[in-house]
Amino acid sequence: MSAGHSVELEAIFGDYPLDQAFDEMREADGNVRPQYRALAETLASLPADELQRRKQSADLSFLTQGITFTVYGRDEGTERIFPYDLLPRLITAPEWDHIERGLTQRITALNLFLRDVYSDAKILADRVIPRELVYSCKHYRRQMRGLQVPRNVYIAVVGSDLLRLNTGEFVVLEDNLRVPSGVSYMLTNRRVMKRTFPQLFQSYGVRPIEHYAQLLLATLRSLAPEGRPEPNIVLLTPGVFNSAYFEHTYLARQMGIDLVEGRDLVTHDNMVYMRTTDGLKRVDVIYRRVDDDFSDPLVFRGDSALGCAGLFNAYRAGNVTVTNAFGTGLADDKAVYAYVPRMIRYYLNEDPILPNVETYLLSEDKARLHVLANLDKLVVKAVGESGGYGMLIGPHSTARQREEFARQIEAHPRNYIAQPTLDFSRAPCLIGSRLEPRHVDLRPYVLFGDKVNIVPGGLTRVALERGSLVVNSSQGGGSKDTWVLE
């Protein structure tokens, strides 16, 4: 058995390297982890070009479904499919249970934090979080002060990014509380995978995720204004030029709601209406996929044409629910992030189930000196950015980049944080015709209406370039289907 087994492994892994980073599929001694054995056997049993063939057929399916993004720069936009990897990432039932409990706890605390900061601000009065940290955050919206939010839910849709360290432990890298995207890739990946590996899928007993859209709709409905039993729910998109437009159309269609743009909406007497062929129709709930800044030119950025003038006042009057609420970016600020464990203890009186990544706040003198002396070993991030922008990865940086960041940090210490360069886990990916390890993270999608709902799994994002630590799709990342086992 063992001889035959290793021959098979030889055939599929070749010179697949293992080092101190956690490998999702293999243990340190090279053996395949128990949950991955069926997958390894399937791979070993397939003829050499069969995987390639399946990959091509899956690619074609993504192309005809129009799951593409446009590469600009030529006279006509070239469309590419979003890169994805054919091999699933597996998560066992106990691992998922831990993640689910951890995220539920964390999101509950973050929501309490937002409610507190925008009303009584007790946590600031009790000096658990420094006042200046909150009030200097560029996503803090003073317009939200004292505003009653339906059911006190600020963050109905969340996508938190988790990493797995070399101890095998999951940690939270960041919380996306504004307009997290990628859930459509989770859903379409699953559909393609079911077609690509039907028997394997069946034999694994994978927990379903397909009801996400239904849960999202129920969440949105539960947040409708009082007295609107049949709420008109819409999804507000910035339009076809947005890179997540595919996702907006996908979700609108799956939920059976209208996909509106700012230009479809008008406000009158603090009510929001949409222009239909039958005249104006009142809108009750807006699932907003437009950033705060662009949502209402009367309150936020005046030069934005993407939003709807008067939306915020209608929201304030309680005539329309907008979710996620405005100003939630405060709680995913990367400096505020460092205080999330303290929030959990403060509001829930519990120990955090999912730990944070160690974070240096550069506004603290001691931390800043340490970071400046060790820029080549650390990752520095701008606090208000997302999508992998405004980031310095010390070990992969040039001296000039480090000087530039050092200067920026000295000038605006509040705008940056630093974290150790994490050796997070890797999973095997099909690169050409070989398996090679690539770094992966995990973004589960959390819904918060009547209660917290997390579909089992999420989007496993892959840094497709060898050795790269950046998984964002805007920076050359791809994705994998994530199978949570029964």
Partner 1 sequence: MLSRVADSLYWMSRYLERAENTVRQLDVTMSLMLDTGGASAETRWQKLLAALGKPAGMEWNGDFESMARKLVFDNLSPASVTFCVNGARENARQAREEISTEQWQRLNRLFHHMHSPGVQAQFDSSINDLLAAVIDGIHLFKGVSDTTMIHGQGWQFIRLGRYLERAYATATMLEVYQPDLFKQEKESTGYQYLELVGLLRCCTSFEAYCQVYTADVVPDRIIEFLLLNRDFPHAIRYCVDGIRGAIDSIQHTGGRRAPDELTAGIGRLHAMLGYTTISEILNGDTAAFLHNIREQCLRIHELIYRYYVHYSIQSALAV
Q: Does 191 bind partner 1 (CB under 8 A)?
A: no
Q: Does 274 bind partner 1 (CB under 8 A)?
A: yes
Single out the residue of 260, 285, 454, 463 in contact with partner 1 (rule: CB under 8 A): 260
Q: Does 268 bind partner 1 (CB under 8 A)?
A: yes
Q: What is the DSSP letter of 331?
A: G
Nearer to partner 1, 138 or 275 (CB): 275
How far is it, in rounded angstroms, from Cα 168 to Cα 98?
13
How far is it, in rounded angstroms, from Cα 191 to Cα 188?
5
Query: With contact defined as beta carbons under 8 Å apart, do 236 and 252 qualify?
Result: no
Q: Which residue has the tokens 């994490």?
A: 422
Closest distance to partner 1 from the beta carbon of 264 (Å): 5
Binding mask 141-180 for partner 1 (x = CB under 8 A): ----------------------------------------
Single out the residue of 280, 391, 430, 431 in contact with partner 1 (rule: CB under 8 A): 280
Nearer to partner 1, 257 or 371 (CB): 257
Single out the residue of 7, 11, 125, 240 in contact with partner 1 (rule: CB under 8 A): 240
Here the tokens at position 307 are 């939003």
Binding mask 53-72 for partner 1 (x = CB under 8 A): ----------xxxx------
Q: Which residue has the tokens 């054995």?
A: 37
Question: What DSSP letter does each residue of 199-238 carry, written as one string?
Answer: HHHHHHTBPP-TTHHHHHHHHHHHTPPTT-SS--EEEE--
How far is it, in rounded angstroms, from Cα 124 to Cα 374?
32
Q: Does 279 bind partner 1 (CB under 8 A)?
A: yes
* Cis peptide bond prior to 324, omega within 30° of 0: yes
Here the tokens at position 263 are 């230009």
Closest distance to partner 1 from the beta carbon of 147 (Å): 27
Nearer to partner 1, 278 or 365 (CB): 278
Nearer to partner 1, 136 or 243 (CB): 243
How far is it, in rounded angstroms, from Cα 266 to Cα 245?
22
How far is it, in rounded angstroms, from Cα 128 to Cα 31?
46
How far is it, in rounded angstroms, from Cα 291 to Cα 138?
13
User: Residue ranges of the alpha helices (H) in 349-435?
Assistant: 365-373, 399-411
Single out the residue of 44, 165, 266, 431 in contact with partner 1 (rule: CB under 8 A): 266
Query: With contact defined as beta carbons under 8 Å apart, do 237 and 263 qualify?
Result: no
Closest distance to partner 1 from the beta carbon of 88 (Å): 24
Q: Does 76 bind partner 1 (CB under 8 A)?
A: yes
Q: Does 253 bind partner 1 (CB under 8 A)?
A: yes
**Could you tell me which stretch among 140-148, 206-214, 264-272, 314-322 binds partner 1 (CB under 8 A)?**
264-272
Single out the residue of 37, 145, 211, 263 in contact with partner 1 (rule: CB under 8 A): 263
Nearer to partner 1, 114 or 260 (CB): 260
Tell me, what amino acid is at 341?
A: P
Interface positions with partner 1 (CB under 8 A): 63-66, 76, 240, 245, 249, 252-253, 257-261, 263-264, 266, 268, 274-280
